[in-house]
């Protein structure tokens, strides 16, 4: 069974093969829990949930690690503000945001990872890795700080295509920041106020990038797949790769996957623009499966411009599929795999091949709707499609909610019917659009 993935490192699609037969190790950078999660987070983790499901369905033993970065400036700054009334303890502050994240992914039917390490639980491993880097000549100390020396690692910049020579060129020593090269990054920050930990270099706290490398090292030294959002490619993933490989002397990951941005009306989500949409708000107002369905209709490695209209359209498409399939029995995963892996021309096999080709869920969904007539006519097809959607796409089907049509709706429908009788087509269309905005689809049938 072939699995094709777009590898950021090679800049091409490659056939996936794990380092150990039957076992796959995957690390996906998690959230920094300083606020509630937004829908951009949801897109990333729905994408990797598809990959997680696909690997498990192929019979792989998946080690899936997803972290929480609970030591970070945004968290510490808020904890240390006395007017917030929050005790200077990280767990007290981050727990509501972690619970919110878990609740959202549960609604979206994302499978849990194998491990969810936190930085606060990984301080000994962080210190150990920094000591290894100093011993191996890849890091140096300056007044209680520890920096990674990018000049000591010739591979630096190859993941993100940032040439090392460009970063070293023009290097100078600053009195306030005595780094050897401008691109050198902090592994340990000494002499910090507030929350800190003891170390061989004095009291301080870890730098951002070293944290993920140490959390990975608790479970494995080398990965099959490393993933996250496209915004993490540089500097975070570049620095992660450098310090892990310099410290442990082996390749950090064979495949790198990055999920592109979820834009709001073609603009990046930003608090300054006021266009950040929280996951909890969207999932409270809409069917979570409609949001998941919308994400699956687009390739993960292309930017997606989100709009409420698109979500409503995805909701209607999913409802159509739900109405058709919710009563059908499911086929167990073993029987489903025996069908989808057959070398025949059935559309369900083609849908499986589509998902196996760089998580091509959009093509798989299109194949299902192209064959909707056959699905309606065949109980076997209904069972196969329902099982495929549940096991591979993570969609949950349920009995449709029956909504009572209110008196207001009846009045608008009657008013529209009167306009149609009077051949006032513009008025009739306006009323139909008004009903649509209220969540009702009006169809004129014989």
Strands (E), 96-251: 139-142, 145-148, 185-190, 204-206, 223-229
pTM: 0.88
Task: For residues 161 and 233, give the distance between their C-alpha atoms in angstroms, rounded to a whole number.
Answer: 10
Task: For residues 200 and 396, give the distance between their C-alpha atoms in angstroms, rounded to a whole number.
Answer: 51
* Token couple for 294: 């919308």
H/E run at residue 27:
strand 23-28
Task: For residues 371 and 367, give the distance between their C-alpha atoms in angstroms, rounded to a whole number.
Answer: 6
* Token couple for 440: 């009702």
Burial of residue 59 (number of CB atoms within 10 Å: 0-12, 13-18, 19+): exposed
Task: For residues 10 and 7, give the distance between their C-alpha atoms in angstroms, rounded to a whole number.
Answer: 6
DSSP 33: -
Cα Rg of the chain, angstroms: 26
Query: What is the reported pLDDT for 173?
Result: 47
Task: For residues 207 and 236, give the distance between their C-alpha atoms in angstroms, rounded to a whole number.
Answer: 11
Query: What is the reported pLDDT for 396?
Result: 97
63, β-bridge pairs: 25
Query: What is the reported pLDDT for 270?
Result: 74
As a dihedral over the C-alpha atoms of residue 4, residue 10, residue 12, residue 13, rounded to 10 degrees, the angle is 0
**Average confidence (pLDDT) per 10 residues, the chain, 446 residues:** 95 97 97 96 98 97 98 84 58 95 98 97 97 98 95 95 65 61 94 79 93 97 97 97 98 98 85 86 96 98 94 95 94 90 85 97 98 94 96 95 75 89 90 80 76
Query: What is the reported pLDDT for 125?
Result: 97
**262-264 and 267-268: which strand pairing?**
antiparallel
Distance of CA 193 to the CA centre of its chain: 33
Query: What is the reported pLDDT for 168?
Result: 58
Query: What is the reported pLDDT for 171?
Result: 47
Distance of CA 443 to the CA centre of its chain: 37
Query: What is the reported pLDDT for 410?
Result: 84
Contacts of 394 (CB under 8 A, 6+ apart): 46, 49, 50, 53, 108, 109, 110, 111, 292
Task: For residues 386 and 397, give the distance between their C-alpha atoms in angstroms, rounded to a whole number.
Answer: 8
Q: Which residue has the tokens 């490398």?
A: 213
Distance of CA 441 to the CA centre of its chain: 32
Residue burial 14-49, b: 16+ Cβ < 10 Å; e: rest = eebebeeeeebbbbbbbbbbbbbbbbbbbbbbbbbb
Cβ proximity of 139 and 147 under 8 Å = yes
Query: What is the reported pLDDT for 172?
Result: 47
- Where does residue 381 fall: left (phi above 0), alpha (psi -120 to 50 degrees), or beta otherwise? alpha
Query: What is the reported pLDDT for 6?
Result: 98
Contacts of 244 (CB under 8 A, 6+ apart): 213, 216, 217, 221, 252
Task: For residues 173 and 170, give the distance between their C-alpha atoms in angstroms, rounded to a whole number.
Answer: 10
| Other CB atoms within 10 A of residue 208 CB | 20
Task: For residues 115 and 77, give the distance between their C-alpha atoms in angstroms, rounded to a whole number.
Answer: 27
């Amino acid at each position: 069974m072939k699995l094709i993935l777009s590898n950021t490192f090679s800049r091409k699609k490659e056939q996936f093969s794990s380092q150990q037969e039957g076992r796959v190790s995957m690390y996906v950078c998690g959230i920094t829990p300083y606020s509630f999660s937004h829908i951009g987070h949801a897109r990333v983790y729905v994408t990797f949930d598809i990959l997680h499901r696909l690997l498990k369905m192929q019979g792989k033993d998946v080690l899936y690690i997803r972290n929480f970065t609970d030591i970070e400036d945004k968290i510490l700054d808020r904890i240390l503000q006395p007017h917030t009334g929050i005790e200077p303890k990280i767990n007290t502050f981050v727990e509501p945001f972690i619970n919110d994240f878990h609740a959202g992914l549960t609604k979206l039917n994302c499978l849990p990872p194998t491990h969810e390490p936190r930085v606060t639980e990984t301080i000994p491993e962080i210190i150990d890795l920094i000591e290894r880097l100093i011993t191996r000549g890849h890091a140096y100390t300056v007044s209680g700080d520890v920096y990674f020396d990018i000049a000591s690692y010739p591979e630096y910049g190859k993941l993100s295509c940032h040439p090392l020579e460009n970063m070293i060129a023009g290097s100078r020593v600053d009195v306030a920041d005595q780094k050897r090269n401008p691109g050198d990054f902090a592994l340990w920050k000494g002499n910090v106020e507030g929350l800190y930990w003891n170390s061989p270099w004095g009291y301080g706290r870890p730098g951002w990038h070293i944290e993920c490398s140490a959390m990975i090292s608790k479970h494995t030294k080398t990965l099959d797949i490393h993933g996250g959002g496209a915004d993490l490619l540089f500097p975070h993933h570049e620095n992660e790769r450098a310090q892990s490989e310099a410290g442990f002397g082996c390749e950090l990951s064979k495949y790198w996957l990055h999920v592109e941005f979820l834009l709001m009306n073609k603009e990046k989500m930003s608090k300054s623009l006021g266009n950040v949409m929280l996951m909890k708000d969207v999932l409270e107002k809409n069917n979570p499966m409609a949001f998941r369905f919308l994400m699956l209709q687009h390739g993960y490695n292309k930017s997606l411009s989100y709009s409420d209209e698109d979500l409503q359209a995805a909701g209607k498409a999913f409802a159509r599929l739900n109405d058709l399939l919710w009563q059908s029995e499911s086929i167990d995963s073993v029987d489903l795999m025996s069908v989808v892996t057959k070398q025949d021309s059935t559309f369900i096999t083609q849908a499986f091949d589509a998902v196996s080709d760089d998580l091509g869920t959009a093509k798989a969904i299109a194949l299902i709707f192209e064959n909707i007539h056959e699905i309606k006519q065949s109980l076997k097809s209904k069972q196969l499609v329902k099982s495929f959607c549940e096991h591979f796409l993570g969609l949950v089907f349920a009995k449709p909610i029956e909504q009572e049509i209110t008196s207001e709706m009846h009045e608008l429908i009657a008013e529209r019917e009167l306009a149609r009788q009077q051949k006032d087509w513009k008025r009739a269309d306006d009323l139909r659009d008004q009903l649509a905005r209220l969540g009702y689809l009006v169809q004129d049938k014989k």
